[in-house]
Amino acid sequence: MRLKDKVAIVTGAGAGMGRAVATGYAKEGARLVLADIKRNLCRETASIIQDAGGVATFIMTDVTQFAGVQAMVDVAIQRFGRVDILYNNAGIQFMRADSRAHELSEDIWDRTVAVNLKGSWLCAKAVIPFMLQQGGGSIILVGSPTGYRACAPGYTAYSASKGGVIGLTRIMAIDYARDNIRVNSLCPGTTETPMISAVLEDEGVPQRLAEAIPMGRIGQPEDVVGLAVFLASDESSFCTGGFYVVDGGMTAM
């Protein structure tokens, strides 16, 4: 097992890619703290892992509030004594309310940046002191190709927030490299998750999205698991400051 005896925190673990990665980590032997703002969904993920013989606990967490984030990390320390992996998956995208800059409301901007960028920073801020004490760890921030390519016209807040995640990944990777804390970004392309389910219900949209991807299909949550495990494991011990794309070739064009 590639993550045997490691302790992982997965945010946004209630559904989609967060749930897929959490169950993937459990299969590889990790013990898990699952966090999500939706308590019932997070409990479901924990039950799935426990029913399969894994070890998981959960806590409702709003990643935009440091007190809640600190409580999440405290659960990991109290229950397992350490934190080896932070998989920061919690994110938000307002599919019908995000827009071009002059049309974008301040509320949508603030809420998007608070979850996607501030939340990434707060989660890292809370786990890093423990990783420093124990001699290292792996932080994986979920980014997006929209953070470095203009591939999502009209999604100003989301693209800007994910651009910030790219910058945060880079600076933390450099700041903590000598402390054996690796910081990388996993960047999924268009993936079928609850976050975009409403848009996928529109006639013709799934086909158009699939046609824009060289591999000819929309991604599934399970597509990111292999790379998420690699970045969490000791196999990636010389990898930091990287951006790992799982997008079916979309950004190769």
Confidence of residue 126 (pLDDT cuts 50, 70, 90): very high
- Predicted local distance difference test score (pLDDT) of residue 204: 77
Using DSSP bridges, classify how beta strands 85-88 and 243-246 pair: parallel, antiparallel or unpaired. unpaired
pTM: 0.95
What's residue 100's pLDDT?
96
Please report the pLDDT score of residue 90 as a whole number.
Answer: 97
| R_g of the chain, CA atoms, integer Å | 17
Computed over every residue of the chain, the mean pLDDT equals 94
What is the model's pLDDT at position 71?
Answer: 98
Using one digit for the tens of pLDDT, what is the confidence trace for 227-240? 999 999 999 999 99
What are the φ/ψ torsions at residue 58 (nearest 5 degrees)? -140, 155
Cα 226 to Cα 59: distance, rounded to the nearest angstrom: 25
Does 81 or 196 have the greater pLDDT score? 81
Q: Tell me the per-residue pLDDT of 22-31, one tens digit each, with 9 for 90 and over.
A: 999 999 999 9
- pLDDT score for 250: 87
Show which residues are catalytic. Answer: 158
Element (H, E) at 46: helix 39-51
pLDDT at 233: 98
Rounded Cα–Cα distance for residues 119 and 103 (Å)? 25
Kindly state the average pLDDT of the residues 142-164: 90
pLDDT band at 190 (very low <50, low <70, confident <90, very high): confident
